[in-house]
Structure 1
Amino acid sequence: MQKQIMKAYLLTTILVGLYSCNSNDDFVTNSTEAAAQFKVVNVTNHDGRPFSTGKLTNIPSGRYVENPGGGVMMQAFYWDVPAGGTWWNVVNSKITAWSNVGIGAIWLPPVSKAQNGPFSMGYDPTDYFDFGNFNQNGTVETRFGSKTELESLITKVHAENMQIYADMVLNHNSGGQLENNPFTGTQTYTNFTGVASGKFKRTSADFYKNAYGNNDEGIFGGFPDLAHVAPNVQDWLWKRADGVGKFYKNTMKFDGWRFDYVKGFGAWVIKDWNANVGGFSVGELWDSNVNILNDWANNANSSVFDFACYYKMNDAFDGNNLNVLNDDMMWKRNPYKAVTFVANHDTDEIWKKELAYAYILTHEGYPTIFYRDYEEWLNKTKLNNLIWIHNNKATGNTSILYTDNDEYIARRNGYNGNPGLVVYINNSSTWQERWIQTNWVNAQIKDFTGNSGWYPRTQADKWVKIQCPPNGYSVWSINM
């Protein structure tokens, strides 16, 4: 096999050499066998950051390092992961492999004890300080495991130079005891004074309706609705040194937060949390209106999931109308506060996921990969390739070069010595070719996905012809 690889590599070199002597050819073909066997090596550019040479090597990539294109997040769970307290160990076993392919952060489900005990996915929180170390709600461990296993996972993530984000459910609680509620004149399940940790004890005064009002922005599922205006709630969630936020960050060592159902309370809650606690934050604001997403992100001083992008991708790739990718999205409006995604534990509507991942991993924003897409459903090798492209080539702002119902071509314009890329997405059943204008003068380029064997050279006016396979994508950059 090694001799076959070397023969393929020598053939590539000969073909490229022949091509460089023939300026009349639009392109040359190239064997992709060598590219399938080796990883692409990173060297250091003039400002000290990793930069792709496009050369081939069999040297492992090692632990995750921050690259010019930024990071990639893994949603490290799905709805109804196996119960039985094994999930933290399952995720732990995958961290090194994820780091090696370029994943920079993982997002965990809610880590504290919830009403449904060993069967809960955590979105019905009872005791924010029970990480699987108290006998409460019918179990000691959470659905995902013990506190010790969680701490081991966090330690492993940091050892691999990655970050870890906690899913925070701040809108509502569940699992309280009945008490007489003077604000409703009835009995309500709002007595949390008996939580096993003894921390963040709550009563009806801490839930709507109460002395501060009848309600806030939203109620979820009929659960008791936390009143963030109540001093006790603010103190225990984000102000106290031993409160939820600071304990999670300083003692448990979480690096950031995914905030659940932020429609249920004011953006000022997240703004205050971020000001007092710090760390990365992203809000789940389930709305396709870019104005609403952007206003919330600015008011909360937080990133937000780009639901506008999500629904446009669904319309584009499954609805066979790539023209809608010209429409406004959060990553276009505010790329530094946009977290893009193709699927998650709540919604999984896009069928042509490979095209969608090619889109978010080559465009601006902070892309998220869904656990089941990566580990179970899609081609992991292709996703790893897109992660590498994102980390090493997806730099600079974006220029859309061409769209129609079936084709989409965009250029990342590069930044600080990194040449950027051109991504070509083809939603039709046949190969497509287009002349496009790059940022590169008289430069040989190649498709870093290996889907095309062309090695075209850009002209003096930066124009070049590229191609894209049916129902697929290609990603072009300087071959150096």
Structure 2
Amino acid sequence: MKRNHTMMQFFEWNVEPDGTHWNRLKELAPELKRKGIDSVWIPPVTKGQSGEDQGYGVYDLYDLGEFDQKGTVRTKYGTKQELLDAIAACQESGMDVYVDVVMNHRGGADDTELFQVIEVEQDDRTEEISNPFEIEGYTKFTFPNRKDEYSTFNWGFEHFNGIDYDAMTDKTGIFRIVGEGKKWNDHVDDEFGNYDYLMFANIDFNHPDVQEEMIQWGNWLADTLQCNGYRLDAIKHIDYHFIKSFVDNVRQERGEEFYVLGEFWVPELEACQTFLENVDFKLNLFDVPLHYKLHEASKAGADFDLTTIFDDTLVNVNPEHAVTFVDNHDTQPNEALESWVEDWFKQSAYALILLRQDGHPCIFYGDYFGIGGEEPIKGKQTAMDPLLYARYHKAYGEQEDYFDDPHLIGWVRLGLEEIETSGCAVLISNQDEGEKRMFVGEARAGEVWVDLTGTRDDHIIIEEDGFATFFVNGGSVSVWAHSEQAEE
């Protein structure tokens, strides 16, 4: 019997930039697997603009912490060898490793170049607000300290289509690079008219040499690391035809089981569905609409109707392609997409993604281990471990929902015969203490069920007809399941 799969995002934005993160993963790998983690999504492994770069300010895609570039050999997270050792430790423990891949842009150029641009409107990148003029831009990447190891490809302005800084005049703006066939990429998100440009020097996926180089790199990286999959960053800014081609090529090299999930950060369900259709459902997407529902529920408290929590979410309409999550490195406090799910609702939110039959849940390092920085947040390991236990041991079988009260929802997993003592009953309240009578199966008659979260200490005996009345505290979650110890 295949057990439920759980992913962990193994980083948060403020992980200490001391080069020890890969070693931390290596040491924790066996424990994570014991706790019920089956795969880890790790941060970008490539050299950024400094030793403190989180990895999203990409400098050299072929430097995995091996060359003395940007003032450091290691990346923020460690050296190449430490990375390889961490991946091996995860896989030896029985966990897959998914690598964060950043392909949209490059930063920290080795030199400037002179070239023609047209300035465009910030809020509508299709609207030109200047005639062509010359600027000095940071677009020349030669990677002198790598000395052509692994790749001889050097980047120049012809490989980009946009930039946001003119070194000649010290002016910032959004400048579209001019040249034969140069334009913003089509088939990207239509916010701001065309949302191809995000930051730094924007890679031009219309350029055939760029397409060839990036696909070659994607194959090289997967082969070098022997990883199990990719998380693709910022894909709403990249032509979806290239995304589809990239995924096809890496799977041709690594096998169809190579896992790919994408960050398509759009809250509207329809846009997510359209993107999946455009890439022929070749990858999974983070359920951004569900994240915002969880955030809204945590902010609104008792004013939120819990029966609507899954309305207009990806997991509700396309569960097999939905990666459900509560928070991540971008939504944590003080970051780019801050939309933090408040503490009082955090455990309930995780129950909603971990204990139901649909979706592929991903738990956040910052929620589990805590967040560093100037305003640290403590981890919630003690609140999350019982949910991980319940997901691995209890949350199986047919699901029956009791979404009949805006302040008190519940559901039951009836369990499977082949997983002994599986089955559970979950209640969530966003207002007062409550109770709900739910059916867990006539075969359960006489069993004693307890709250795995430890929030309540009741011992509930399942009645002859398979029903029982289950309880939950106000603004809380309880996960009821069979306890053999309680019967002794």
| Range class of TM-score, shorter chain | 0.7 to 0.9
- Contact conserved, 1:112 with 1:129, CA < 8 A, in 2? yes
Residue of structure 1 equivalent to 2:273: 294
Distance 1:192 1:257, change over 3 A: same
Aligned partner of residue 94 in structure 1, secondary structure = helix
Alignment of 1:46-445 (within 5 A): 49=1, 67-69=2-4, 71-115=5-49, 117-176=50-109, 177-181=111-115, 185-194=134-143, 196-197=145-146, 198=148, 199=151, 200-208=153-161, 209=177, 210-216=179-185, 217=188, 218-238=195-215, 243-278=216-251, 279-300=258-279, 301-320=282-301, 321=304, 322-348=306-332, 349-351=340-342, 352-363=345-356, 364-376=358-370, 377-396=378-397, 398-412=399-413, 420-430=423-433, 432-440=434-442, 443=445, 444=447
CA distance in 1, matches of 2:207, 2:87: 32
List per-residue Cα deviations over 1:143-199 (Å, max 9, x = no partner): 111111111111111111101111111111112221233566433222223454422
User: Which letter maps to 1:235?
Assistant: E
CA distance in 1, matches of 2:483, 2:100: 41
Measured on the aligned residues, the alpha-carbon RMSD in Å equals: 2.4
User: Which letter maps to 1:87?
Assistant: H
CA distance in 2, matches of 1:308, 1:445: 38
CA distance in 2, matches of 1:102, 1:146: 28
Distance 1:204 1:326, change over 3 A: closer
User: Which letter maps to 1:434?
Assistant: K
CA distance in 1, matches of 2:275, 2:416: 29
Distance 1:305 1:159, change over 3 A: same
CA distance in 1, matches of 2:67, 2:478: 52
CA distance in 1, matches of 2:206, 2:417: 46
Q: CA deviation at 1:353?
A: 0.9
User: Which letter maps to 1:373?
Assistant: D
Structure with the bigger RCO (C-alpha within 8 Å, sep 6+) is: 1
List per-residue Cα deviations over 1:361-392 (Å, max 9, x = no partner): 11221111111211232442331221121123
Deviates most, 303-312 or 449-458:
449-458
User: Which letter maps to 1:268?
Assistant: H
List per-residue Cα deviations over 1:434-453 (Å, max 9, x = no partner): 11244555533624514353
Deviates most, 150-159 or 437-446:
437-446
CA distance in 1, matches of 2:84, 2:57: 22
CA distance in 2, matches of 1:186, 1:378: 47
Aligned partner of residue 155 in structure 1, secondary structure = helix
Aligned partner of residue 139 in structure 1, secondary structure = coil
Aligned length: 407
List per-residue Cα deviations over 1:21-40 (Å, max 9, x = no partner): xxxxxxxxxxxxxxxxxxxx
Q: CA deviation at 1:221?
A: 4.5
Deviates most, 433-442 or 283-292:
433-442
CA distance in 2, matches of 1:306, 1:146: 32
CA distance in 1, matches of 2:408, 2:284: 30
User: Which letter maps to 1:356?
Assistant: A
CA distance in 2, matches of 1:281, 1:334: 16
TM-score normalised by structure 1 residue count:
0.78
Aligned partner of residue 118 in structure 1, secondary structure = coil
Q: CA deviation at 1:417?
A: 5.0
User: Which letter maps to 1:249?
Assistant: A
Distance 1:442 1:396, change over 3 A: closer
Structure 1: segments with no counterpart, 5+ residues: 1-48, 50-66
CA distance in 1, matches of 2:462, 2:14: 50
